[in-house]
Amino acid sequence: MGIPFAMQDPDTLAVNTIRTLCMDAVQRANSGHPGTPMGVAPVAYTLWQRFLRFDPADPIWPNRDRFVLSEGHASTLLWSLLHLARVHAVDPDYEVLKEHAVTLEDLETFRQLDSHCPGHPEYRWTSGVETTTGPLGQGVATSVGMAMAGVWLAARYNRENLTLFDFDVYALAGDGCMMEGISSEAASLAGHLALSNLCWIYDSNRVTIEGHTDITFTEDVAARFIAYGWNVTTVADANDLDAVARAFHTFKTEHERPTLIVVHSHIGYGSPVEDSPQAHGEPFGTEGVRATKRFLGMPEDAEFFVPGDVYETFAAGVGARGAAAHQEWEERFERYRADHPELADEVARMQRRDLPVGWEAALPVFAADEAGIASRDSSGQVLNALAGVVPWVVGGSADLSPSTKTRLTFDGAGDFEPGQVSGRNLHFGIREHASAAVANGLALTKLRPFWSGFLIFSDYARGAIRLSALMEIPVVHVFTHDSIGVGEDGPTHQPVEQLASLRAVPGLLVFRPGDANEVVETWRFVAPLRHEPAAVVLSRQPLPTLDRSKLGPAAGVARGGYVLAEARAGGPEVILLATGSEVHLALEARAELESGGTPTRVVSLPCWELFDRQPAEYRDEVLPPQVTARVAVEQAATLGWHRFVGDAGRVVGMHTFGASAPLKQLLTKFGFTPDRVAAEARECLEDVRRSARA
């Protein structure tokens, strides 16, 4: 039996309280992972209590240190820390509330409906959570974006004797995080950028669900990170608080490289199943919990027991230190506001996710032009105009900016590179998954990020794209080379199912604009978003810039879909629907149908999600229910289109992968011609008339 809790020193008592809260939460839920939080509790406690600059009374103050629990299955560790530190809740409008983010009742209802202690950390659901983690590796990769944002903010806003930004970013990772490929992508990028404000803590407990890591993972992780250009230090025993503190001191004195602290811990410390796979993913059982509490010197019959002294310990440590640092920062910011009012206004707007007054005036208008311009090119022009007036718009590509046209070229844009961290152009390298996760980290730090790649490679970034939607953060995912229009690159580079896949993500706005002015309106809508990510899908080939004096205004993009061209006489008998490069194809098919006496309407539907949000009256106005002869055309999988064309309608789309050939040959082979679309429309109309006669 351990030392009775009443005789334990404050640090030991606090650590053991964290451990027993974690055990009790998992046991009560009969679900979760008790072993990891118990093993690494001393490390997290030391970080919070001695080093982390974090004000529990205002968990979103801009210069706070960030703590990311990348091994999200250990969420009870974070819930216990947030509870014991008495972190305040924050509402969606960024107002700090008087209530606590995590109550004891929340811990008691861990993993239950509406508890603020879900199974994995969820940003926006529980205050004090810096990013949603769960899929392993996402947390550490996102932390790289946070660290990049930190040094960028410092470079832009810090002035002599007025340092606004110098926060550090800590991420607690496990064996699983180190196995996932995204962590390698992100660590390589962080090492190249020499992000000395970044510290990953590798909780090496050597156990996963299937067993000891020896069955799959025997590499020298420390050597790998040294090769990445990281500073690496090791703590032999997670329970040695002084050794843990020395490791954090090593990080604080390192100014040239990111730091990896390898901590050897015992999963399920003190439990009957210590160091076994059972400690990873299963509750210990009633007797196992009691035995562990006896080992720790805690009351074995008390559930969710928190000695009052523990709250006081946290208040005197992280609470007092964080409050003092925050107060000093607020006073400094007032001096900064007096000396640098314009920069101070930028900082304040950024924190609220607001844009500068009059930003829309910078957006261009494109004249009608039959030769047209690729939407990737028009988007590049609009993006440069936007970034030129919104200084905290930053981004780049996964080594494809010459192709995605996302390079910022205005004077002063610059490149973000080691020793030159004020640049607006980020270079992610060929690391699609990390690119999206880093963009998430930038957005979580209140910058306005974009990243880009080919649409086909959105598959490589899917996990991080999904998390941007789950977290409701305004990342812009820019994808070009949107169809079989890629041509000779062939089916490996021709997206087919990717549009449907992105549209299936709840909360992700997917735009496929049909000409340059639809591109402008897409960015006009996307730029001020505060709680939604967007995927902007663009063409490689030129698209005619439509004559809006004869067609519906491009402002209809804001409603997701709109009548682009009306039937010339009377109401329409056929409706053609299209997105992107197929909008002009639909207009050509309409001309053929109209010349043959078939009144035809063309509807541009660049964003399904926005169209779905419109009132039923508007949707019925655009797509009258009585007009059932409808044909949709899109160079992508047809999945999802029948909700717009109905049972009687038809879809001209892709039912196979593409082929390697010049564009015009591909369009003919797969039926994307005016004749084919017009023929489908005539056949559809005849079927509708035949059914009506029957």
Phi and psi angles of residue 329, each rounded to the nearest 5 degrees, phi first: -65, -45
Q: Which residues, 6 or more positions from 148, have their beta carbon under 8 angstroms from its beta carbon?
A: 193, 195, 416, 421, 426, 438, 441, 442
**Helix, strand, or coil (residue 450):** strand
Contact 318, 56 (CB under 8 A): yes
CA 257 to chain CA mean position, Å = 25
Q: Which of 531-557 are b and which e, b meaning 16 or more Cβ less than 10 Å from the residue's Cβ?
A: ebbbbbbbbbbbbbbbebeebbebebb
Q: Name the DSSP letter for residue 555.
A: G
Instruction: Considering the candidates 185, 346, 432, 518, report the single residue annotated as catalytic.
Output: 432
How many Cβ atoms from other residues are within 10 Å of residue 660's Cβ?
Answer: 15
Q: Is 334 labeled as catalytic in the residue annotation? A: no
**E strand map for 105-208:** 169-174, 198-204, 207-208
- CA separation (Å) from 289 to 279, 299, 351, 541, 621? 11, 11, 44, 64, 63
Give me the torsion for CA of 83, 88, 94, 95, rounded to 10°.
160
Phi and psi angles of residue 689, each rounded to the nearest 5 degrees, phi first: -65, -40
Residues 510 and 479: their CA atoms lie apart, in Å, by 10
Residues 90 and 259: their CA atoms lie apart, in Å, by 31
For 248, the enclosing helix (H) or strand (E) is helix 241-252
- CA separation (Å) from 594 to 510, 530, 583, 597, 599? 31, 43, 16, 5, 6
Nearest C-alpha neighbor of 172 from the set 74, 249, 80, 98: 74
Phi and psi angles of residue 115, each rounded to the nearest 5 degrees, phi first: -70, 145
User: What residues are annotated to the active site?
Assistant: 432
